[in-house]
Amino acid sequence: MATLKELSNKEILVTPGHRACAGCGFPIIIKQALLAADNPVVVGCATGCMEVCTTIYPYTAWKVPFIHNAFENSAATVSGVEAAYQSLKRRGKIDKKIDFIAFGGDGGTYDIGFQSLSGAMERGHDMLYICYDNQAYMNTGIQRSSATPRGANTTTSPAGSESYGKKQYRKDLTEVMVAHGIPYVAQGSPAMWNDLVSKVNKGLAVEGPAFMAVIQPCVLGWKYPADQTIELAKLAVDTCFWPLYEIVDGEYKLTYRPKEKKPLVDFLRKQDRFRHLFKPENEHIIAELQAEVDRKWDALLAKCGEQA
């Protein structure tokens, strides 16, 4: 595993001058992911904040070849790029080793791009799909997605006198991807740079498809001060709301176990999207959310062969 000192000698293949909000989480994810690559990388990206903020014509923040096609087809598009690579390599027109990363937000991955992702993974393209999961449709103004946690206030699951926010628990896409039987699946957090870099590195190195869900705090959508991005990405992990684990060829492995499992409220309290949950009439929801985190965490520990 490279140290930060070693990594800092590498060229960062995404530039400043992008228009993401101050404190946005996704540029940190791009930076760490591209630092993890050993080979030249071609990147595809779904419509969303990442694409919009990094490629406002005539500017691009990407120093690697980059393609944006549409919202729901990042995986299919990159599968085509990868197919072209396999074909041209076979025909002797390319001799370099090239890696492929498809990015998508949670809307473009869990929801509208779900079929495209499932198809690309099932077909076995040699590519890494990274979902930057900020838990709502942030680019269009914070609408709920199937990745939005239960209880969150979004513009289409607003909290109100008769509502505590989103009713449903979030879809566990990571587990759905495990069910695809692909060689590598992982969850990451930009707060744990070494864990994330190492996972991207593994995801690119495996032959065949790899999937990573990476949590991405969003200043606007989660409603917190801009300097708290990494703090929240860390709290998500330390409360076991967003465990860091990987599945290599079907084998579960916990890659980070918090020394002390923090209560979920530590994560919730810092975000105004959950503020309404702290009203007396909604407090039972917090208890339910905690119980769900506990249940899933225990199940994960069992899968990873860890002591509860």
Judged by CB under 8 A, the chain residues 89 through 128 that form the site for another protein are 90-91, 94, 96, 98, 115-116, 118-120, 122-123
Q: Is 280 in the site for another protein (CB under 8 A)?
A: no
Residues 189-248 that bind another protein (CB under 8 A): 190-191, 193, 219, 225-231
Minimal CA–CA distance to 29: which of 246, 229, 227, 247? 229
- Kindly tell me which residue out of 1, 57, 207, 308 binds another protein, with binding defined by CB under 8 A: 57
CB of 54 to another protein, least distance (A): 7
CB of 308 to another protein, least distance (A): 32
Q: For the chain, first and last CA: distance in Å?
A: 28
At position 294, the amino acid (one-letter code) is: D
Q: Is 177 in the site for another protein (CB under 8 A)?
A: no
Q: Is 25 in the site for another protein (CB under 8 A)?
A: yes
Q: For residue 129, what are the contacts with CB-CB under 8 A and spacing of at least 6?
A: 74, 75, 78, 101, 102, 103, 104, 109, 117, 120, 121, 209, 210, 211, 212
Closer residue to another protein, CB minimum distance, 87 or 155: 87
Question: Cβ of 254: how many Cβ atoms within 10 Å?
Answer: 16
Return left, alpha or beta for 250; rule: phi > 0 is left, psi -120 to 50 is alpha, else beta.
Answer: left
Cα separation, 116 vs 109, whole angstroms: 9
Closer residue to another protein, CB minimum distance, 42 or 182: 42
Q: Is 33 in the site for another protein (CB under 8 A)?
A: no
Cα separation, 126 vs 121, whole angstroms: 9
CB of 290 to another protein, least distance (A): 26
Collapse the DSSP code of 207 into the 3-class scheme (helix H, G, I; strand E, B; otherwise coil) and give the result: coil
CB of 242 to another protein, least distance (A): 17
Reading the block at residue 83, the tokens are: 């197919």
Size of the site for another protein (CB under 8 A): 85
Q: Is 31 in the site for another protein (CB under 8 A)?
A: yes
Cα separation, 101 vs 67, whole angstroms: 10
Closer residue to another protein, CB minimum distance, 231 or 292: 231
Reading the block at residue 94, the tokens are: 């390319």
Minimal CA–CA distance to 139: which of 218, 211, 77? 218
Closer residue to another protein, CB minimum distance, 13 or 210: 13
Window of 49-57, 155-163, 252-260, 264-272 that interacts with another protein by CB under 8 A: 49-57
* Backbone CA torsion sign across 88, 90, 91, 95: positive
CB of 128 to another protein, least distance (A): 15
Reading the block at residue 189, the tokens are: 């957090």
CB of 139 to another protein, least distance (A): 11
Window of 72-80, 144-152, 205-213, 285-293 that interacts with another protein by CB under 8 A: 72-80
CB of 83 to another protein, least distance (A): 4
Window of 84-92, 157-165, 238-246, 251-259 that interacts with another protein by CB under 8 A: 84-92
Cα separation, 152 vs 162, whole angstroms: 14
Cα separation, 291 vs 129, whole angstroms: 30
